[in-house]
Amino acid sequence: MHKSGTTLIADTLHRSGIPMVGDMAAGGYDDGNKMERAETRELNMELLRDDGGHSFRVIRPLATDAVTPAHRARARAVIDGLAGAGPWGFKDPRTLLTFDFWEEMLEAPRLVGVFRDPVEVFGHYLKRAGRRWISRDPAYLPDALRAWCVYNRHLLEVKRRHPEMLLLDYADFMTADDGLQALSAHVGRDLVDCRRPGMRRARAAPTADYRLARGIVRLRDRMDPARIHAELRKAAWT
């Protein structure tokens, strides 16, 4: 899911010699550097018909009939262009929605997933929405929480299909060294530690806004973020 630590993981791998983007974008996370390879991000957006609006409102998985030979050719060009130069990777939360496509295109990829407490992710979107979110866009925060459920249910499905995938809890990764060591073992190299305590901003603290949005998602969408989070915790590396 967006805002779950994917940029930190990608930055860690990139600075440790596994290129995750073409040219390192200037600045850090707050300057807009999300460590997303342009070619794969743009292809994902095209596959999902994402027009660049609110990312959390793109939740439908890729339809089989939406994939064209041109899409496959573009993906093949990216892969062939990077082949032979050593390990490489890409990150984009949308890949959870297009995973079947990339699973077809890539040969035995080494998978890393990361999840974050829904309360913390919700806190990020609450700051964006402001205190008057109900009058401005009453679906904004419930839709953000719904997206967290959708994306992380896909993450759990990928983990079930690929038990070898390393699944990390963002909070654990930020506060202990075991996750970094597990990531190092998973990719087979020493890693540069890119963690900074200040990067973990929206700590888990359920609010009345969260409880309201959770209630809406449970009734409207028949999904419970607390239950999904518990499943993620159970499936994660420990």
Would you state the pLDDT for residue 50? 86
The DSSP 8-state label assigned to residue 44 in this structure reads H
Would you state the pLDDT for residue 202? 57
Would you state the pLDDT for residue 84? 84
What number of other Cβ atoms are within 10 A of residue 52's Cβ? 7
Q: Is 193 part of a structural domain of the chain?
A: yes
Q: Is 75 part of a structural domain of the chain?
A: yes
Would you state the pLDDT for residue 196? 83
The domain tally of the chain equals: 1
Question: What is the sign, positive or negative, of the torsion defined by CA atoms of 236, 224, 50, 60?
Answer: positive
Mean pLDDT by 10 residues, the chain (238 residues): 94 95 58 80 94 86 92 96 90 96 94 96 88 75 96 98 96 92 96 81 78 96 97 87
Q: Is 128 part of a structural domain of the chain?
A: yes
CA distance 6 to 37: 13
Q: Is 150 part of a structural domain of the chain?
A: yes
Q: Is 72 part of a structural domain of the chain?
A: yes
Would you state the pLDDT for residue 206? 86
Would you state the pLDDT for residue 52? 77
Q: Is 162 part of a structural domain of the chain?
A: yes
In terms of residue numbers, what domain contains 91?
Answer: 6-235
**Whether the model pTM is above 0.85:** yes
For the chain, state the CA radius of gyration. Answer: 18
Would you state the pLDDT for residue 97? 97
Would you state the pLDDT for residue 201? 58
Q: Is 1 part of a structural domain of the chain?
A: no
Q: Residue 168 forms beta bridges with which residues?
A: 114
Output the CA–CA distances (angstroms, integers) from residue 162 to 50, 112, 113, 168, in the order listed. Answer: 27, 11, 11, 14
Q: Is 60 part of a structural domain of the chain?
A: yes
Rounded to 5 degrees, what are φ and ψ at 115?
-130, 160
Q: Helix, strand, coil % (nearest 5) of the chain? A: 55, 5, 40
Structure tokens at 151: 């994306």
Would you state the pLDDT for residue 26? 42
Would you state the pLDDT for residue 237? 66
